[in-house]
Amino acid sequence: MYRLLKCVCGLTLTLAVAALLADEGMWLFNQAPKDQIMHRYGFELTGAFLDQLRLASVKTPGASASIVSPNGLIFTNHHVASGCIQRLSSARHNYMAGGFHAARESDELRCPGMEVTVLLRIQDVTARVNAGVQARPGTPEANEQRRAAMSAVEKECAAAAGNRCDVVTLYSGALYHLYESRKHTDVRLVFAPEFDIAFFGGDPDNFTYPRYCLDVTFLRAYENGRPAQTPRYLQWSRQGARDGETVFVSGHPGSTDRFITLAQVEYLRDTSYPLSIAYWEAAIAALKTYGAHSAENARVARDKVFRAENSLKARTWELKGLREASLLQRKRQREQALRDRIRKDAQLRQSVGSAFEDIAAAYQQWAPRYKEYQSLERGPLYSDLFRIARHVVRLPEEKAKPNGQRLREYNDAALASLEVDLYAQTPITESVEVTVLATWLRFIEQHLGAGHETVNAVLGGRTPEQAAQLYVGATRLKDLAERKRLAASLDAVKSSQDGMVRLARLVDPAARAVRKAYEDGVVAVETAAAPRVARARFALFGAAEYPDATGTLRLSFGAVKGYRNAQGQPVAFATDFTGLYARATGQEPYRLPERWLKLKSTLDLKTPFNFVSTADIIGGNSGSPAVNTRGEIVGVIFDGNLEAMPNRFLYDDAQARAVLVAAQGIVEALRRIYRAEKLLTELGLAGR
């Protein structure tokens, strides 16, 4: 990598070297920055090291995990597995509150609707995808042809090996890679601590540091009713994380916006973020009011509240960063430097053309319609019944189309995974469904207006609360057989009088129309214009820049390292159990589980519990393993601090940190608090 940079001069070299000397980057495994890591940390990143880490890394729904034994044992966060834990819980067996520990394999409980994958191989299919596009770039026809080409590649791959296959768009469409992954659809819960210790400090401490959380869970992948054989797994470090140590993080960061244009950043600041934040605020208020009525309501709503509060806090601080003049000024300077460099090169100037202007115009035209897209196509967040109803309504209609003409989530390669979720036997509480649905109906009434045709149709002269009661009270979608019957027949869907199916049908025409407007007016322009900018970056920087995160497997690296806070005070790299007990007040969210109070004297209170690193992460990295240079687990990512939130747009490690649960603290808790000797033995830590 360093050799590629030496031939670049002036400002380009300055920018590239600045990136080279920092811990920045969510790198593709097939484009790992070996020279950069050697230059910064003196460590030779070998192909064998990368292969071992890749084949032991796991993608969970929206997050990350790792394989930690040859018998399918999977290690992740409690909050990553909370959907499983919540679905397995009941008023009688509240595993969220009381925790779960399977003493025997026969006690391990299957997570409804959960699928995890392991990346087997990556193939560059850029030429094949581009060959399928014959229409003029930037047109809806070109966008449809590109989707069809991607779907064809995925279908061929899935048919050949029976694996999950996804064509991933990288560098804004300059590259297309095929990711082939092994699927596990039988995933079972092995161990989970109590919510009070997993999320100690609650929302007030979320995205802060110091932290004191045992945010961990162990799952197990099964095949044919037996634990999966997983010879590629990560061993546990005996020493754990140490100050100044080099660590590598392997995970699935969801999305970043570091390489989008300034016009796109301003769109997020002025249009997208404020509306999303307003919705989350309304949802949280409604769910908390619902939960306050009873202990059972609080149990049912807890996971939804956590997810909503987590999203709200992240977006709020990201928006705060966007509104700071310094961040926008840095983005503006970087874009101007790139455009100046392009302008000085006749070949680059011609190839980029009006790409920046085209993207800006597309977002300017789209912005007034975003509230309709947020309201109707995204639909009511946290409603299991609406999510099911939408799939039931769309699935038979989409399956009747040629594979390449379907919405992407319904193409042949994606159907198996969609059906795992759709046909999972999960508990649904009607009262909380009414709450989240009424919240959404109030939101669309407020933001689209009472005169909007779809709003009028779904409310039908009723209040949002009355309409929500009507739709939820008249549905049978909790019945798995009914879901399957409807999803198998378009005629059955069209004639159904089921309440939630009727609601999904009423919303669908306008939702599809606004989605098509977005894909034709924004996506089509982006897929034509953004790759021209990305190719110019390639010409100037070579492989010195990684692509924005896409929810696919990436490698990050950094040091275990403290920092100075905003007051200039030093913040140590690690916390310990002494700090945990000092922070505990006995009141939520600083209440410790009973066993932690009873067994305090058994703990080595100086054991590192949580720690921080400069590794570059974002949402989706939750559950990512952190390994040392021997490839051993020293911790697991579970958060970032507030100072890291603007890293979505520009990386800075002066104060921004990834926050992890320390391997030492996990072992100490498993041994002293939970007496989990069988689990420790499987981790290779018996009697240590």
pTM for the full model? 0.93
Both 527 and 638 in a single domain? no
pLDDT at res. 541: 82
Instruction: Establish whether the linkage from the previous residue to 253 is cis, with ω within 30° of 0.
Output: no
pLDDT category, 161, cuts 50, 70, 90? confident
Is 143 among the domain residues?
no
Distance CA 399, CA 38 (A): 50
pLDDT at 349 over 70: yes
pLDDT category, 7, cuts 50, 70, 90? very low
Is 170 among the domain residues?
no
Both 461 and 325 in a single domain? yes
DSSP class of residue 533 equals H
Both 603 and 459 in a single domain? no
Which of 508, 532, 556 is the endpoint of a domain?
Answer: 532
User: 199 with 215: CB under 8 angstroms?
Assistant: yes
Distance CA 667, CA 318 (A): 34
Distance CA 45, CA 637 (A): 21
pLDDT at res. 538: 81
pLDDT at 10 over 50: no
pLDDT at res. 17: 37
> What's the pLDDT tens digit per position in 291-305?
999 999 999 999 999
Distance CA 254, CA 64 (A): 10
Is 89 among the domain residues?
yes
Both 453 and 597 in a single domain? no
Pairing of strands 246-251, 554-559: antiparallel
Distance CA 518, CA 520 (A): 6
Structure tokens of 617?
């992460």
pLDDT at res. 437: 98
Range of the domain at 575: 2-115+185-257+545-682
pLDDT at res. 20: 42
pLDDT at 15 over 80: no
Both 275 and 206 in a single domain? no
Distances from the Cα of 477 to the Cαs of 111, 438, 471, 501, in angstroms?
A: 20, 18, 11, 8
**DSSP run (H or E) holding 534:** helix 524-541
Both 197 and 223 in a single domain? yes
> How confident is the model over 200-207, as a mean pLDDT?
97
Both 100 and 225 in a single domain? yes
Average pLDDT of every residue of the chain = 94
Both 393 and 331 in a single domain? yes
Is 271 among the domain residues?
yes
pLDDT at res. 248: 98
Distance CA 248, CA 53 (A): 9
pLDDT at res. 18: 42
Of the candidates 403, 383, 7, the residue with the CA atom closest to the CA atom of residue 167: 403
Both 450 and 562 in a single domain? no
Distances from the Cα of 98 to the Cαs of 198, 323, 464, 676, in angstroms?
A: 11, 42, 36, 15
Which of 532, 557, 577 is the endpoint of a domain?
Answer: 532
- Residue 537 makes CB contacts below 8 A (sequence gap 6+) with 171, 259, 338, 545
> What's the pLDDT tens digit per position in 119-128?
999 999 999 9
Both 230 and 306 in a single domain? no
Both 271 and 241 in a single domain? no
Alpha carbon 360 to its chain's center: 27
Vertex 352: Cα angle to 146 and 354 (nearest 5): 90
- Residue 290 makes CB contacts below 8 A (sequence gap 6+) with 297, 301, 431, 432, 435
> How confident is the model over 516-543, as a mean pLDDT?
91
> What's the pLDDT tens digit per position in 236-252?
999 999 999 999 999 99
Q: Map residue 351 onto helix, strand or coil.
A: helix
> What's the pLDDT tens digit per position in 350-386?
999 999 999 999 999 999 999 999 999 999 999 999 9
Is 48 among the domain residues?
yes
Is 14 among the domain residues?
yes
> What's the pLDDT tens digit per position in 312-342?
999 999 999 999 999 999 999 999 999 999 9
Q: Residues of the chain with pLDDT > 90: what percent? A: 94
pLDDT at 512 over 90: yes
DSSP class of residue 670 equals I
Both 438 and 305 in a single domain? yes
Is 16 among the domain residues?
yes
Pairing of strands 226-227, 217-223: antiparallel
> What's the pLDDT tens digit per position in 433-489?
999 999 999 999 999 998 999 999 999 999 999 999 999 999 999 999 999 999 999
User: 364 with 425: CB under 8 angstroms?
Assistant: no
> How confident is the model over 278-290, as a mean pLDDT?
98
* Burial (Cβ within 10 Å: 0-12, 13-18, ≥19) of residue 566: exposed
pLDDT at 156 over 50: yes
Which of 478, 501, 532 is the endpoint of a domain?
Answer: 532
Distances from the Cα of 678 to the Cαs of 106, 240, 675, in angstroms?
A: 13, 20, 9
Domains of the chain: total? 2
Is 550 among the domain residues?
yes
